[in-house]
Amino acid sequence: MRNAEPDMIQRVNNDWKQMYMDLSFSFLMAAKSDPRIGPLHITLYMALLASYREQRSNRIYIFAAQVMPLAKIAGSTTYHRTIRQLAAYRYIRYIPSYTNVLGSLVEFRLENF
């Protein structure tokens, strides 16, 4: 009898990879037609997706100090403004933590694309 566990792991990995591709493609297509979205929004969203890839969850916990260098954002004011705009435009759900122990919560929203 064959062990079904490797098949299940492969299926989960494929589902996760498909969701990652769907999120990135859908965001870029939506950003293309949304005049509010600029280069900072795109690079920040892609940096958030990199965190999503590491954590493999639709709900990720992030720290600005980890995401800012990846997004090539030097100023914390710019970072916070941009992530709040992404949330206001409903590309993500963002709940700031205001603590250095627990990262801020980010959820990706596929239903808006």
Torsion 16-81-88-25 (CA) sign: negative
pLDDT above 80: residue 69: yes
pLDDT, tens digit, for every residue of 8-53?
555 556 676 777 788 889 999 999 999 999 999 999 999 999 888 7
Full-model pTM: 0.82
Average pLDDT, the chain: 86
C-alpha closest to that of 78 among 47, 33, 34:
47
Q: Which domains does the chain have, with CATH numbers?
A: 5-108 (1.10.10)
